Amino acid sequence: MTDPVALTADLIRCPSVTPAEGGALVLLERLLSEAGFACTRVDRGETANLYARWGAQGAAKSFGFNGHTDVVPVGDLAAWSADPFGAEIRDGVMYGRGATDMKSGVAAFAAAAIDFVRDTPPDGAVILAITGDEEGDAQDGTLALLDWMAEQGEQMSVCLVGEPTCPEVMGEMMKIGRRGSMTTYFTIRGVQGHVAYPHRAVNPVHATAALMHRLSGHVLDTGTDHFDASTLAVTTIDCGNPATNVIPAECRATVNIRFNDAHSPDSLQRWLRSEADQLATQTGTTIDLRFSVSGDSFVTPPGALSDLVAAAVTAETGVTPALSTSGGTSDARFMKNHCPVVEFGLVGKTMHKVDECVPVAEIEQLKAIYTRILSGYFA
Helix (H, G, I), strand (E, B) or coil at 43: coil
158 CB-side CA count, 13 A: 19
Helix (H, G, I), strand (E, B) or coil at 147: helix
Answer for the pair 171, 221: CB distance below 8 angstroms, yes or no.
no
Handedness of CA 1, 124, 378, 142 (dihedral sign): positive
Q: Residues 10, 29, 70, 343: which is the catalytic one?
A: 70
DSSP secondary structure letter of residue 37: -
Query: Distance between CA 283 and CA 272 in Å, rounded?
Result: 16
Answer for the pair 130, 313: CB distance below 8 angstroms, yes or no.
no
Answer for the pair 18, 69: CB distance below 8 angstroms, yes or no.
no
Amino acid symbol at 378: F
Helix spans in the chain (H):
4-12, 24-34, 103-119, 142-152, 204-216, 265-283, 304-317, 332-335, 360-378
| DSSP β-ladder status, 62-68 and 158-161 | parallel
Beta sheet of 62-68, edge-to-edge order: 38-41, 49-54, 125-131, 62-68, 158-161, 341-343, 173-175, 322-324
Rg of the chain (C-alpha set): 24
Is 135 among the residues known to form the active site?
no
Answer for the pair 182, 374: CB distance below 8 angstroms, yes or no.
no
Q: Residues 10, 21, 115, 134: which is the catalytic one?
A: 134
CA distances from 58 to 124, 152, 154 (A): 9, 10, 6
Is 115 among the residues known to form the active site?
no
Annotated catalytic residues are 70, 134
